[in-house]
Structure 1
Amino acid sequence: MTSRANRSRNNRCATALLVATTLVLAACKAQAPTPQPEPATPQVTADTSAQPARSTDAPLPSEDASLAPAVTTPALPSAFVDKVWKVSKSGAVEPGTTYVFLADGTLVIDSPNGTPMHGRWSFDKGALVMVEEGISYPTEIIAIDDSQFHIRSHNPGEPVDIELVPAPDQPLPKP
C-alpha cells in the first residue's frame, strides 16, 4: 500500500506542480506590444470655397449626365461683370430689382420702387463679397451661366438667396 500511496501522492504533486507551472508561465507571459498608429500623413485637399455645396449622396456628374453642373467652377468675374442682372426670384429682394457689378468695383442695386444704391464688390480667390451701406456680405455664387446668376448673400440672420436673370434691355448705370 505504501507504494500505491506514494504513487498517488506523487501524481497529486505532479499535478499540483503542473498547475503551478502553468499559472506561473501564464502570469509571466509577456504582453504583446500595443500597436502604435502610423504617423498621420497630412491630407491635401482642393480649395472648394468658391464651389457650390454638393451632397455626397448624389452621383457625380460623370455618373449621370443630367446632373452636370450649371456653374463654371470657379466663376470668373467676367461672367457677371458689366452686365445688368434682374431679380427673378428671392425671399428678401423685390423681383425686378437690378444688380450691376461694374468693372471698377462699384455695385449698383436699383429697386423698381426706390432710388439706386451704390456699394462695392470684390472678387478674390473665387470669393465674392458685396458691400452695401458699408457692410460687407460674403456671397456664394450658386450657379452662373448666360441665362442665370444665382447668389447667396450671407447677411446677418438668414442667408438671402437671389436668383437673377440677364436684363439686356437695361442700360449699364454710370459709376
Structure 2
Amino acid sequence: MTSKAALFALLTMWGVGAGACLPSYAEEAMAEATSAMAPNAKPGFTDRVWSKVDDGGLPGVMKIFLSDGTLVQDSCWETHRLSQWTLTSDTAVKWNEDGMDITAQIVSLADTELVLNVNGIGDEKYTAAAVPYLCPDMPKG
C-alpha cells in the first residue's frame, strides 16, 4: 500500500509541476512567434479591422494584419483570403497573393486611419471598421 501512495504522490507532483510551466512557455512561444512575424509592427497597425474608404462602389473591403503574421482580406462581394505578411522595414509590409508578392508602404498610421501605397501604384485609404457592420445586399444578376 505504501508503494501505491508513493506512486500516486509522485504522479501528482509531476502533473502539478508540468502544468505550472505551460502558461509561461506558451506566452514565451507566442511572443517569439509574434516578434518573428511582425518584429517592429507599429502600435495600432495589427489586430485591428481596417475598412477601405475609397472602394469604388464595392462595399466592405477590409484588411486585418494579425500580430501572428496572418493577413485576413475580405469584402462583401469576394471570398476571404488568408496570407502570411511580414514587415520588411519600419514602414513597409509584404504579403503574397496567388504567387505574387505584394508590397505596401505605410504612408500614414493614426488611431483610426491607415494609408497604404500598394506596389507603388497609388494610395489606399482605410479607417478602423465600425462595429457592428453588416454587408449590404448585393444586386444579383
Seen in structure 2, the aligned counterparts of structure 1 residues 170 and 160 have a Cα distance that, compared at 3 Å, is: farther
Alignment of 1:3-82 (within 5 A): 76-82=41-47
Match of 1:89 among 47, 54, 60: 54
Deviation at 1:79, TM superposition (A): 2.3
Seen in structure 2, the aligned counterparts of structure 1 residues 78 and 134 have a Cα distance that, compared at 3 Å, is: farther
- Matched AA of 1:84: V
- Please state if 1:163 is matched with 2:128: no
Q: Which ranges in structure 1 are unaligned for 5 or more consecutive residues? A: 1-74
Radius of gyration: which is bigger? 1
Q: Which ranges in structure 2 are unaligned for 5 or more consecutive residues? A: 1-39, 134-141
Q: Secondary structure at the match of 1:151?
A: strand
Q: For the residues of structure 2 that align with 1:109 and 1:170, how far apart are their CA atoms? A: 18
**TM-score, normalised relative to structure 1:** 0.47
Q: Secondary structure at the match of 1:86?
A: strand
Query: What percentage of aligned pairs have identical amino acids?
Result: 27
- Please state if 1:99 is matched with 2:63: yes
The count of aligned residue pairs is: 93
Q: For the residues of structure 2 that align with 1:145 and 1:99, how far apart are their CA atoms? A: 16
Q: For the residues of structure 1 that align with 2:85 and 2:46, how far apart are their CA atoms? A: 10
- Alignment match, 1:135: 100
User: How well do the aligned residues superpose, as a CA RMSD in angstroms?
Assistant: 2.5
Q: For the residues of structure 2 that align with 1:94 and 1:121, how far apart are their CA atoms? A: 24
Deviation at 1:138, TM superposition (A): 1.6
Q: Is the contact made by 1:107 and 1:121 (CA closer than 8 Å) also made in structure 2?
A: yes
Q: For the residues of structure 1 that align with 2:55 and 2:106, how far apart are their CA atoms? A: 14
Structure 1 outlier segments of 4+, above 6 Å: none
Q: For the residues of structure 1 that align with 2:129 and 2:112, how far apart are their CA atoms? A: 10
**TM-score, normalised relative to structure 2:** 0.57
